[in-house]
Structures are given as structure tokens and as C-alpha cells.
Amino acid sequence: MITERPAPEQPGVRQLAYAVAEPSTQHPALAATDYHLRTAEAVARQMAQLRTSDPPDVVLGHIGWGGLTFARDALPDAALIGYCEYYYRSVGSDLDFGLSAPVPDAERQRIRMRNAAQLLALDTLDAAYAPTHWQRQQYPPPYRPRIAVCHDGIDTDFCRPDPQASFTLPDGRRLTPRSPVITFAARDLDPYRGYPQFMRAAAILAARHPELIFVAVGGDGPGYGRPREDGRGWREAMLAETGFGEAGLADRLVHIPWLAHDDLIRLFQVSAAHVYLSVPFVLSWSMLEAMACGCLIVGSDTAPVREVIRDGLNGLLAPFHDEAALARRIEEAYRHGPRLRSLREAARETVMANYDSARCVDRQMSWIARLGYRENAA
């Protein structure tokens, strides 16, 4: 494995580290492209060494960071498989979602240039795949027929319902599947994952249901979006806006910056309803893991979420920007939980049928085997 950040050693995995040179002054729209180019050079140097010592039959890599840009030149005999995570668009995607004003020209130009490494890699690949159909659809039409759809997979044996599960909050309170708890989780508490909308809906519900406990997992980093203009973090701002930071409500909302994976799964297993919101962007693994745990999902009615959640069949949907409607759907999930058990069961069945890790890995390995055989036969 060729990587910029080596992971802890794993049996059977050899890691080759590369270092990216420092940037020089360049046009603002070229910041990402410059980094991708320097990454491409560093990775190509490592690949050239492999070519003379231990040439691989197949190379699989992410096409968005530059690592595969010069792979065909460095390893001309290897089969190249590209992971197509996200193609940036200035219209009809995350950049202009919910905006009333046009996206500035400079921002559109920056986003267009950010795709340069992907387009160069796509031109040289033997095969490519995207995790979801919506992510595949973001790529230009001429490339879509070459991009298969296959998720990296969810461990449905590990992520499963457990009626005996329990989760202990930092203050010592113990939650079980019978607890009145509403959950939310994201890498960072930012607008891309609808944290402000969740907080506003939670405030509405807190006034109606004094027994409810809200647990939000996520850090205070900028996440995928941009920092607030006032310099405050989103958690601080939303606590002030909603009143959850004041006496009387402070113990109703628990913020946890980070959880080990085992603990996150236990939180999903005790959740009465799990809220997952996203602008049109990469779909989070956490939503699929929550579904595999039998969570009743209240999701945003946005394209990446709609690909998985069918409203009223395996979850509930609400408009992204309508906090009152979101509160109503969460309340429905909470008050009618037993009646909606079929949605929980259907959520897990959806993940097992389409996103189970064993099936996804088998499919990916079959591509690798076929391509490796073809290259060796040639």
C-alpha cells in the first residue's frame, strides 16, 4: 500500500510512505490541483521503485487526490482500478444547495479545477467504481458507463440489533433500547450534515416531550463546510440559539466529541430514532451502520439519502431546511416506535441486501481477479 499517512502495521500489508513537497505561490484556483500534482509525483516515484523490484498486477486507488494521475506511466503493465468518490459540481450539488444567490465565479472555477486529477486518472483506468448510484451520476456522462456501483460494505454481523444493548453517557446515565433517546452523529457538527437543523428540531421537541434525551456525536472542526463568519463553532452557536446551553435544558442534550466504533454501534442499538441529514454530498457510512443496527432513521429528503431510504417503507424523510417538519417526523418515530417496527426491520434488510461487506468485497475482489488475470494473460 502506497500512502501519505502510514497506518498501524497489519499482517500481510506492506506500506510504502511518500512525502509531498511544499507548494509554491500559485493561482488560488490551483491550490488543490497543485497538491494533487505533487502527490502524483511522489506516488509515481514509489511506483517506479515497485516496477523494478516487485511490480504489482493490479493497482486500486482513490482518483480524487492525485495518486493515480501518473500510475499508467509508472506501472504501464498493471491493471488500474479507480475509486470514484465524488465529482465536484457548481450546480445541483453541495456547492449551491439551499443558496438564494448565485455561486461566485471564483468559487465555480475553483471547484471545476478540483476535478482535474480525477479526469486525468479516468482517462487511464481499466475499471472504476463508485459507492452509490448518486455518486456515480455526479461524473460527466461520457465516463459513467465505465463506472460500476459497489459500496465498500457494512459489517452486518457487527452492526446488528441488540435488545440487551446499553450505552452509558459521560455523566453516568445508562441508556437502553427502551430509553427515550434521539441520536445524531457526524464527523463534525457542521451544516453539511444538517447539525443546525437537528438542533432546531430538537429544541421544538424538548418543549413538547420533557422526557426526551438528545445525544449528538461529532467534533467541533469545520467539517466539510466553511467556518462561521463570526468565528464561533457551530456547537457553540447552536447551543446559544436553541437554549440548550442554559440551565434546565443542559442535561437534555449530550454532546460527545468522539466515540470508538464499538461505542457508536451501541449508541445506535439503543436509539429510539436516529437523525441523519445531508446536503447533496457523499453518503455517510454511519447512516448505513445505523440502519443495520435496526435504527428507525429520520433522514433528509435529499438525493443521496433517498437512494437508500424509502419514506414510510424503511425510514422516514423530511425536507432538509424545514425544522418543524423534521421535528414532526422525529416525534412520529418516537411516539409510534412499536407500530413502526417494520421500518426498522426493512432498514436492516436494505443494508443486508445491498451493502453487506461480504458481498461488496466479493464483488470488488472479482474485478481485481479478472483484471489481474487479463493483464497476466496479455
**pLDDT over threshold 90, residue 371:** no
- pLDDT digits 0-9 by tens, 54-82: 899 999 999 999 999 999 999 999 999 99
Pair 133, 149: CB distance under 8 Å: yes
Q: CA 259 to CA 248: how far, in whole Å?
A: 26
Pair 311, 343: CB distance under 8 Å: no
Report which residue type is found at 275.
V
Q: Residue 92's pLDDT is what?
A: 87
Long-range contacts of 254-258 (CB under 8 A, 24+ apart): 254/169, 254/170, 254/171, 254/213, 254/214, 254/215, 254/216, 255/189, 255/216, 255/217, 255/218, 256/170, 256/215, 256/216, 256/217, 257/217, 257/218, 257/219, 257/220, 258/217, 258/219
Q: CA 191 to CA 111: how far, in whole Å?
A: 19
Note the maximum CA span of the chain.
Answer: 72
- pLDDT digits 0-9 by tens, 115-146: 999 999 999 999 999 999 999 999 999 999 99
- From 359, 298, 375, 378, select the one nearest 331 (Cα to Cα): 298
**pLDDT over threshold 90, residue 47:** yes
Sheet strands (E) in 6-118 = 16-17, 58-62, 79-83
Pair 346, 353: CB distance under 8 Å: no
- From 352, 339, 340, select the one nearest 291 (Cα to Cα): 352
> What nine digits make up the cell of 2?
502506497
Q: CA 208 to CA 331: how far, in whole Å?
A: 9
> What nine digits make up the cell of 375?
493483464
* Percent helix, percent strand, percent coil in the chain, to nearest 5: 40, 15, 45
> What nine digits make up the cell of 364?
470488488
Contacts with 279 (C-beta within 8 Å, 6 or more apart), sequence order = 94, 97, 98, 191, 192, 194, 302, 320
Pair 253, 244: CB distance under 8 Å: yes
Domains and CATH numbers, the chain: 2-153+357-377 (3.40.50.2000), 167-354 (3.40.50.2000)
pTM of this prediction? Answer: 0.91
- pLDDT digits 0-9 by tens, 81-92: 999 999 999 888
Q: Is 128 helix (H, G, I), strand (E, B) or coil?
A: strand
Q: Please, which pLDDT band fits residue 23 given cuts at 50, 70 and 90? A: low
**pLDDT over threshold 80, residue 188:** yes
More confident residue, 20 or 353: 353
Helix count (H) and strand count (E) of the chain?
Answer: 13, 14
